Chain A
Amino acid sequence: MAGRAGVSETSGVLGLRLPADPSRTVAAIVLVGAAYDLGARLGLNLSLVEHNVTPLWPPTGIALAAFLLLGRSMWPGVALAALAVNLPISNGPLPALVTAVGNTVAPLVAAIILERVGFRRQLDRQRDALAIVFLGALASMTISATVGATTLFASGSIGADELAGAWVVWWTGDAMGILAVAPFLLCIPLFWELEPWPAARWLEAAAILVVTTALVLWTTYSDLPLLFLVLPVLGWASWRLQLRGAAPAALIASLVATWSATHELGPFERGSLLEQMLTLQAFNASVALTSFFLAALVTERLQSARALVAAAAELEWRVEHRTAELSEANTRLLQEIHDRSEAQEQLSLEEERSRREHQIAETLQRSLLPDRIPHIPGVAVAARYVPATADMRVGGDWYDVIQLRGGLIGLAIGDVAGHGLQAAAAMGQLRMAVRAYAVQDPSPVAVMNGLHGLVSGLPMVEMVTLLYLVYDPETGTVRFTNAGHPPALVIGNGDTRYLDGGLAPPLGVVAHWDYAEATQDLRPGATLLLYTDGLVERRTLSIQEGLDRLVSQASGNENADVDALCDHLLSALPGNGKVVDDIALVALQPLVLAGTPLSLVVPADARMLFPVRHTLRRWLRESGVDPRDEGEILIACGEACGNVVRHAYGASPGDMHVEARLVAGSVELAVRDQGQWRIPADRGGGWGLQLIDGLMDSVDIDSGPEGTEIRMRRRVLVGGEE
């Protein structure tokens, strides 16, 4: 029966649910009826007076337990059994039927009320103990007592004066039947439903039952009213085993006590029937209340303790879980911090690397640019290089000023596409290549052809813009070819304009190109300006606007010397003090020589003889000196300079000063050095002095520890007049 039971928590009543099988229900009804009948026989045996007054009526407890456990559909079994029990002891069938109805309705009402108040048959709460005592037993049994007592009176079994006593006896009997029997029956399914007892617990339960039986029996045979001694044992049962121990013990105690009362033993030996009843019912009530309340209390406490343990466990789990989460979050955080710090470090390394590369590239670029502009007689040259400051870039801008054979001056300015070390390195190679090609053949077309072949063979160079010019001071002309570079600017004499000819695509862009050169006059006093795009490019301006600004800034400073011009342009054009792209700038100006004394300072090098001679020639011509005088003065000056070159400094470098003045129809020349030498008497050297002597009107040689100076003078024809 119970093995097939399901436990439902949906209602307050925890009932056993039988499967909806009619045959099983009928079997259960029959069983309930049989149990009721059995209980009734037991109850009748426990009656105090003949079969009339029964202080403990087990069938009521059986009926209530049946309704609570198996459902109210058990009522036919209860009703039929009640009828069967009452028929023999009633005055006729009608009173028996009425009494049976009362006996059936009372437990049915009790079951309904208990279900309504949410009674739990486990009796594990105090309210369940309260409910079964006051609602299930005392209140509901007034029905059966009233019906039964009234029927007795109506059928003439008792007189009116006996009615109250009969009602009380009926009521207490039914109530005690519920209190003693129903909990016991209700606790039986718990042996399957709750956690099984270990053997020790069974032993303890058996001991409790034995002690209870023995104790109650002993007190009933004792003259002393010691029935209450059983209460501590019930306390023990409730405390240790709860309902499963308390209910059987209470049942045994009640049954034994009632049995002893019916036999007027022990405490029930003396006194009237009423006194016996009072004593017995008080005892049974105490037993029931003590055991159930204590059991409920302990169960509740145990449940609370279990709930507390569960809550603590849950709390612990939550704490552990949360701790794990926190720990995980912490780990993630640490990892993130670590990652970030690593990224930061990486970034710093990158920055450091980038900064160092920038430094190296800038150093490289500066070292690859001409460390000083050659001092070219008769020509003023200035150059500037400004690295970019806006970012860490180093460009491939470069320039060069090359002194070539025949007094020619090669000028080159270019931009290698890209930035950084590679661009700087490529630029260095290109600069040397321009030098090499120009020395071989200074013509722009030859140089460009050479570079074109070179750039095509340099895998690391993508594109190179290059403007190459060769200036001939003798003729005052510039020949140039422009491979994709911003055009050079000629400033001066009221006419500032770009040199637009000789155009070609940047080097490295096309496979073949027929280079052509363009020619431009460059008169003394005018300035030729070469630059890279950084000078004219601004983010807010178009290229044309940039070029126009350069023209206007340059025109306003056409009389400035080349250094002042470069400085002015660099401060006026890029703007904001920031150089977005690097800038290279070269300015060349043939000096106006006429009308002022000539003063040249050049290295004492044989290669300088030509430019010195040519500058002097230009000075003589611009001063109007007759060509015949010119040639011989040049030879005399050349001899003086040749001596300085050969003898003044030995293998060490040193400077040579050449000064020329036109004073009162005479050219006065002075060639000076800071070396220590004596005029040698070897071949050539001797001729040198001999020539000077022969070609000039007067010669003075002033030789001392601080150097040697040769002063020469010759009367000349100026402007065709002597």
Chain B
Amino acid sequence: MVVARTVEGVQVVSISGEVDLSNATEVSDAIGRVVSADVTVIVVDLSETAYLDSSGIAMLFRLAERLGHRRQELRLVVPPDSPLRTALELTNLPQTIAVQDAVE
């Protein structure tokens, strides 16, 4: 499930549940629908994301690229104890997209 909220010019999009090959495109489209063109920073919060596979990671890369074209910055929130953390690091994602432990 994708939920978005905006706090002080920053849009936070929370993804809850699991993202895999079967629904990565769906989640991507959902984010695309909620992302506002007026904000400069979009934070995708993965705190409530129980599972994210490589198709989800690829989706995040593409999202970052798309937002970059629009001069918008993508940041991720991944808690330190998230089961996703290792996987994200293995794909070198943190080198491209800023990853923070919490939503400020």
Q: Is the CB of B51 within 8 A of A687?
A: no
Q: Is the CB of B21 within 8 A of A642?
A: yes
Sorted from nearest, which 9 A-B pairs have the closest CB atoms? A631-B83, A694-B90, A606-B22, A687-B54, A684-B58, A638-B53, A606-B21, A642-B21, A688-B54
Q: Is B91 an interface residue (CB 8 A)?
A: yes
B97 to chain A, nearest CB (A): 14
Q: Is B86 an interface residue (CB 8 A)?
A: yes
Q: Which of B30-80 contact A (CB under 8 A)?
A: 51-55, 57-58, 61
Bound complex: CA of A236 vs CA of B90, how far in Å? 156
Query: Taking chain B's interface residues, is the majority helix, strand, or loop, or is none over half, making it mixed?
Result: mixed
Count: A-B pairs, CB below 8 Å: 73
Q: Is the CB of A610 within 8 A of B20?
A: yes
Q: Is A607 an interface residue (CB 8 A)?
A: yes
Q: Taking beta carbons and an 8 Å cutoff, which residues of B are in contact with A?
A: 17-18, 20-22, 51-55, 57-58, 61, 81-84, 86-87, 90-91
Chain B neighbourhood of A610, CB < 8 A = 18, 20, 22
Chain B neighbourhood of A635, CB < 8 A = 51-53, 83-84, 87
Bound complex: CA of A609 vs CA of B53, how far in Å? 11
Bound complex: CA of A690 vs CA of B58, how far in Å? 13
B84 to chain A, nearest CB (A): 7
Given A628-B83, A632-B87, A695-B86, A638:B20 Cβ within 8 A: yes
Chain B neighbourhood of A684, CB < 8 A = 54-55, 57-58
Cβ-neighbour of B20 out of A613, A630, A631, A632 (below 8 A): A613
B1 to chain A, nearest CB (A): 10
Interface size class of A (residues with CB under 8 A): 20 to 34
Bound complex: CA of A427 vs CA of B54, how far in Å? 42
Q: Is the CB of A639 within 8 A of B22?
A: no
Chain B neighbourhood of A4, CB < 8 A = none
Chain B neighbourhood of A627, CB < 8 A = 83
Bound complex: CA of A628 vs CA of B87, how far in Å? 12
Q: Is the CB of B90 within 8 A of A683?
A: no
Q: Is the CB of B20 within 8 A of A609?
A: yes
Q: Nearest chain-A residue to B91 (Cβ)?
A: A687
Bound complex: CA of A628 vs CA of B81, how far in Å? 8
Q: Is the CB of B55 within 8 A of A642?
A: yes
Bound complex: CA of A695 vs CA of B89, how far in Å? 11
Cβ-neighbour of B53 out of A406, A628, A639, A690 (below 8 A): A639
Q: Nearest chain-A residue to B81 (Cβ)?
A: A628
Chain B neighbourhood of A634, CB < 8 A = 51, 83
Given contacts A631-B51, A635-B87, 6 further A-B contacts (CB under 8 A): A606-B21, A631-B84, A638-B20, A639-B54, A642-B20, A691-B53
Chain A neighbourhood of B22, CB < 8 A = 606-607, 609-610
Q: Which of A623-654 contact B (CB under 8 A)?
A: 627-628, 630-632, 634-635, 638-639, 642, 645-646
Chain B neighbourhood of A683, CB < 8 A = 58, 61
Chain A neighbourhood of B91, CB < 8 A = 687, 690-691
What are 29 A-B interface contacts by the 8 Å CB criterion? A606-B20, A609-B20, A609-B53, A610-B22, A613-B20, A613-B51, A632-B86, A634-B51, A634-B83, A635-B51, A635-B87, A638-B20, A638-B51, A642-B20, A642-B21, A642-B53, A642-B54, A683-B61, A684-B54, A684-B57, A684-B58, A685-B54, A687-B54, A687-B58, A690-B91, A691-B53, A691-B90, A691-B91, A695-B86
Give the most central of A610, A632, A638, A690: most B CB within 10 Å.
A638
